[in-house]
Every structure is written in structure tokens, then in C-alpha cells.
Amino acid sequence: MKRLRYFIGLVIVGIIFWLIFKYQFISLLEWQSRLLERAFFVLLVCGIFCLFRIGLGPTPADRAVAIDILGILVLGFCAILGIPTGRDWYIDIGIAWALQSFISTLALAKYLEGRNFDE
Amino acid sequence: MKSRIILFFLSLFIWLLLCWPVDGEHLLIGVLVAGLVAFMTGDMFVKRPHHFLNPLRYLWFLYYLPVFLWECLKANIDVARRVIHPDLPINPGIVKVKTSLKSDTALTFLANSITLTPGTMSVDIIPEEGVLYIHWIDVKDKDIEKATEIIVRKFEKIISKIFE
Amino acid sequence: MNEIIGIFFITIGLLFDFFGCLGLLRLPDIYNRLQAATKCVTLGTCGILFGLFLFNGFSALGIKALLCIVFLLLTAPVSAHALARGAHKSGVRLWEKSVCDKYEEDRKS
């Protein structure tokens, strides 16, 4: 039973990667930009896994963990977007998002601990 | 006063990195804002400012970085191996270790190092007794002394030379 | 040459990111998930940012990427620590096959 589940999961991950690396979604000419587009879709799959954990998680703490990880992944998105365009304000958005995510995670942890915010 | 000067230069440095091609306007705004921040919150930044003038500590910090990064890479490979293995070879538990460090900065860095090294994550610290509770993904020994020997020793020596 | 090394670093980082999120789905309880996800996603995103630095050199983008690496290495373990402590105090049990829980014993006594 366990082996069967592992095999099904392996097949699903294989199909996702096959789809990502077979099709070219946006037509870009340079090979580096095409590789970076694939990188963008791999990060998108990671984000979808986090969304699954937010939906499935049995306790509120699991959802808080997934939200924290999603906040770090957004920084990766901004970095990947910054490479082909060469604009430096994408990473500014990333820094601001990571700061907000860190503070909100601390607030969520304090809420889980059962304390108020003025302690 | 020394604490304020240190905070002023640190915040000015970070501001200049954030707007990297340095020109006059950015420098003027940076000096004004860093001066305001240092004036308002400077007295609670560091308690022992003379430690910043000791060059030996910077050398130990440069030694600490590659050790830390190598442990971090080993931790990642270890976790990836556990995740893609079909049987999930984990054996988790929360163990208790002791430390001899006292200052807050040293304890923070020790907890961060433990979290990013193979198989361990710090759950709680009691600074008065010098006790850390650590979640270990593959428990090798439940005894306090042996767990301390395995987890804490290799970082404790370096961190006590940097921050104590 | 720099760009090829940068693409190598970005590939390693994406691989670690993917394994971290897979661990978030596969592992049985919250503490194991937190360990796998925090370690792998932190170093993976640092790898992506270092690749960005190698692509751009010491320009505005590269310097900000280095600053992001330092920031991430300082804050990600702190938030993991806070979440683990909050989860344990809110009453989340460990996995039933866990070996020992010294924290629970010490908090009861």
C-alpha cells in the first residue's frame, strides 16, 4: 500500500516535470531566458505544494508553517524575475515582502502560543 | 555614546548598500535618517561596545562562516535523502542539551546554527539554567551529556570566542 | 563563464526548494515538516539569489541580492523557532512513533 502511494506520487511528479520541460509557454529567443522560464514554473509547482498544505493541514500550526514557507518562495520569484529583465525594483519588492512575512509569522506564533500582543 | 556611533555607521552602511550607486542626495538623506535612528534607539543596541574593537573576534567570525556553510550544505543533502526515500527513515524526538554560553547574542547565534545544521531544530531556550530543548529528526542518544557532545560542542567553542 | 556558474547555482537552488516543499507534503507531523521546509527552502532561495549576484556582478541588483542572503540567513531560523515553540505550547502532539519528549515532561513537573 505504501509502495503503491509512493509510485503514484512519483508518476504525478514525473508528469508535471515532463509538461514543464516539453512545452514552451512564452516565446523567448535566448536559451538562458528559456531556462529561466522553466525555473519560474518549478517555483510555481513548489508554491502549489504549499497551497495544498494550507488546505489540508489538520492543525492551525501546519497552516502557519506553510504560510511562512510561501513568504520565502516569493523572494525566489522576485529574484528569478530580476534576471532576464535587469530591473532592480523586483528585488525591492522581494525584500519588503520577506520583511512583512517575517513579522506576520512572529505574530502568528504569538497567537498560537495563546498570548496577547501587548505582553 | 559608543553604542550610538556603532549603530549610526551600521545603519548608514546598510542604507548605502540598498541604494548602491552612491550619489550626494542619497548620502545626505542617509546621514539624516541614520542620525535620527541612532539618537532615538542607540542606547539599547549593544551593552559592551569595546568588543567591536577587538580584531581577533572578526578573525574567528571569518573562520565560523565556512564551517557554518559546509554544515548547512550537509544538512540539506541529508534532508533531501530522507524526503525522497520510500520508507521515510526518520526517528524523531525532543531532547535536552546544556550550554555554557550566557549572553543573548551568543545564545541567538547558537540557536540559529543548530537550526540550520543536520537534523536538529531548537524549540525552546531557558537562558537562566543554560538549557536548550532540541527537536532531533534521528535520535541517536537520549542522555543529556552525550547529546550535548554530539550537537552543541562544535559550535560552542567558536561562538564563545566571537560573542562572549 | 559567470552566467554558466550562475545557472548551475540556480539549478541547485531550485532542486533544494522542490525537495523542501515535497517534505512539507510527505512528512508526518509539524516539527518534521518545519525542519525539512526551513532548511531546504532557506538554502535553496540563497542559491537562487547568489546566482542572481553572479549574473549581475556588483551592480544595484547584485548588492541587493547579497543583502537579501544575509537577511534570510538571520530571520528564517528565528521564525522556525517561534513557530515550533508556539505549536508545542498550543498543544500539538509529536508523531506517535516519536522516541522521547523531554520538553513535555519538564513542562508538566
Confidence (pLDDT) at A31: 63
Chain A residues 19-78 with CB within 8 Å of chain C: 32, 35-36, 39, 42-43, 45-47, 49-50, 52-53, 59-62, 64-66, 68-69, 72-73, 75-76
Domain extent listing, chain B = 2-50, 55-163
- Alpha helix locations (H) across chain A? 2-22, 31-56, 60-85, 89-113
State pLDDT tens for residues B43-58: 877 777 777 778 888 8
The total domain count for chain C is 1
Interface probe with C: pick from B11, B18, B20, B98, most Cβ of C within 10 Å:
B20
What residues make up the domain containing C74? Answer: 2-108
Integer Cα distance of B31 and B15 in angstroms:
9
Q: How many angstroms separate the CA of residue C101 from the nearest CA in chain A?
A: 18
Report CB contact under 8 Å: B79, C100.
no
Integer Cα distance of B30 and B27 in angstroms:
5
Q: Which residue has the cell 551600521?
A: B10
Q: How many angstroms separate the CA of residue B73 from the nearest CA in chain C?
A: 8
Report CB contact under 8 Å: C98, B92.
yes
User: What one-character-per-residue DSSP string does B51-113 give?
Assistant: GGG-HHHHHHHHHHHHHHHHHHHHHHHHHHHHHHSTT---B-EEEEEE----SHHHHHHHHHH
State pLDDT tens for residues B88-100: 888 888 888 888 8
ipTM here: 0.87
Q: What is the pLDDT along chain A (119 residues), one digit of tens a residue?
A: 888 888 898 999 899 888 887 776 555 556 666 777 788 888 899 999 999 989 987 888 888 889 989 989 999 888 888 887 778 888 889 899 999 999 999 988 888 887 666 65
Interface probe with B: pick from A6, A10, A91, A93, most Cβ of B within 10 Å:
A6
